[in-house]
């Protein structure tokens, strides 16, 4: 509604109603190499009973269900520089697992079963959720059920943001603003559109837009999603609607995005975008941070599972 009210801005917006392809097909381009690290848990080399041999070397984390029924069977954590982790999806190894990751959305229908499970005394249950409270159904009986949380909020035990800023490598330092042929773009997520978009196309389209509307679906502290990090990685300026500017600045440089609250009205915002469209030097100011930094997007589910494993390996006492 923020945008719709402004006829001025609407004239210049490219709308992309999309339904992204299945998670299997949607690795961002820079994560493509992760695919090659997938191994099935059936290969003998990967089958490690957790309490056998050197415990330091073998933390077993069971993914109760792959988030959004993600089809991956096993991923190596070595890409995150985390060693000695085994992520498994096979519940027959439940009793051996040091940790079990439960994705909130996937326990909607079967949480009463969890209350019945017997729990190995040292095993840690981890509640994993990346949706804001507005989109997380409260389930009775979950209080005190879990030992740890893995969440986008900085006060969770295992903090997994949707993305983050890292120091630029020499390759990144050669960053050039991509060619632009659209002014403002807005991707609308949902199942009620029959247009499909592959991740490759998605990142390509974003990079061709001068501005990207990074409007969160609800406003909560630290709830800053891939809607911010996708344009930042793609060389596009995000126009954000979400928590206050100060909260964003705790995650990314203040001059890397435009916040809607900096403007008194949608018209003023539209005028500013049009001004930047006409003034390349002003527009380029939004990329000065790229001289030293770049942005990364987290890998849904896998970053969490590996973070959990890392945490458990470093917190053996309780």
Ligand X SMILES: *[C@@H]1O[C@H](CO)[C@@H](O)[C@H](O)[C@H]1NC(C)=O
Residue 73 engages ligand X in binding (rule: CB under 6 A): yes
Cα Rg, the chain, nearest whole Å:
21
* CB of residue 309 to ligand X, shortest distance in Å: 15
Q: Which of 86, 105, 124, 296 binds ligand X (CB under 6 A)?
A: 124
Give the nearer residue to ligand X in terms of CB position, either 12 or 147. 147
Whether the Cβ atoms of residue 13 and residue 2 lie closer than 8 Å to each other = no
Give the nearer residue to ligand X in terms of CB position, either 3 or 114. 114
The yes-or-no answer on residue 249 being catalytic is no
Question: How many Å apart are CA 24 and CA 35, to the nearest integer?
Answer: 10
* CB of residue 83 to ligand X, shortest distance in Å: 8
Of 125-144, binders to ligand X (CB under 6 A) are: 144
| Number of residues counted as binding ligand X (CB under 6 A) | 10
Give the nearer residue to ligand X in terms of CB position, either 266 or 307. 307
Residue 147 engages ligand X in binding (rule: CB under 6 A): yes
Give the nearer residue to ligand X in terms of CB position, either 58 or 230. 58
Of 149-208, binders to ligand X (CB under 6 A) are: none
Q: Where are the alpha helices (DSSP H) in the chain?
A: 7-10, 111-116, 170-173, 199-207, 226-234, 245-249, 266-278, 280-284, 302-314
How many alpha carbons fall within 13 Å on the CB side of residue 228?
A: 30
The size of the chain, in residues, is 318
Residue 40 engages ligand X in binding (rule: CB under 6 A): yes
Q: Which of 22, 33, 37, 42 binds ligand X (CB under 6 A)?
A: 42
Closest-CA residue to 308 (of 161, 126, 134, 171)? 126
Residue 81 engages ligand X in binding (rule: CB under 6 A): yes
Other C-beta atoms lying within 10 Å of the C-beta of residue 17: 14
The one catalytic residue among 131, 216, 226, 249: 131
Residue 95 engages ligand X in binding (rule: CB under 6 A): no
Residue 115 engages ligand X in binding (rule: CB under 6 A): no
Question: How many Å apart are CA 18 and CA 186, to the nearest integer?
Answer: 10
Question: How many Å apart are CA 274 and CA 270, to the nearest integer?
Answer: 6
Which of the residues are catalytic? Answer: 131
Binding site for ligand X (CB under 6 A): 40-42, 73, 81, 122, 124, 144, 147, 318
């Amino acid at each position: 509604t923020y945008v719709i009210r402004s006829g001025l801005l609407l004239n210049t917006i490219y709308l992309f109603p999309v339904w992204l392809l299945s998670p299997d097909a949607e690795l961002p381009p820079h994560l493509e190499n992760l695919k090659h690290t997938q191994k099935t848990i059936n290969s003998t080399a990967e089958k490690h009973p957790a309490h056998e041999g050197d415990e330091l070397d073998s933390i077993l984390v069971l993914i109760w269900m792959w988030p959004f029924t993600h089809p991956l069977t096993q991923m190596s954590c070595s890409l995150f520089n985390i060693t000695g982790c085994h992520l498994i999806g096979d519940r027959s190894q439940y009793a051996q697992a040091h940790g079990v990751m439960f994705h909130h959305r996937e326990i909607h229908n079967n949480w009463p079963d969890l209350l019945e499970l017997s729990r190995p005394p040292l095993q840690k249950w981890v509640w994993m959720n990346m949706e804001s409270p507005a989109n997380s159904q409260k389930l009775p009986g979950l209080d005190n059920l879990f030992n740890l949380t893995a969440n986008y909020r900085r006060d969770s035990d295992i903090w997994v943001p949707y993305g983050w800023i890292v120091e630029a490598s020499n390759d990144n330092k050669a960053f050039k603003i991509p060619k632009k042929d659209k002014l403002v773009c807005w991707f609308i997520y949902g199942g009620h559109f029959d247009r499909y978009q592959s991740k490759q196309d998605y990142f390509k389209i974003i990079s061709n837009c001068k501005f990207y509307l990074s409007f969160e679906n609800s406003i909560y502290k630290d709830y800053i999603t891939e809607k911010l990090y996708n344009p930042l990685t793609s060389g596009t300026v995000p126009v954000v609607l979400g928590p206050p500017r100060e909260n964003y600045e705790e995650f990314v440089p203040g001059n890397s995005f435009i916040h809607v609250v900096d403007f008194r009205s949608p018209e003023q915002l539209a005028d500013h975008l049009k001004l930047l469209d006409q003034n390349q030097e002003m527009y380029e100011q939004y990329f000065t941070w790229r001289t030293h930094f770049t942005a990364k997007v987290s890998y849904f589910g896998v970053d969490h599972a590996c973070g959990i494993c890392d945490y458990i390996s470093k917190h053996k006492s309780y």
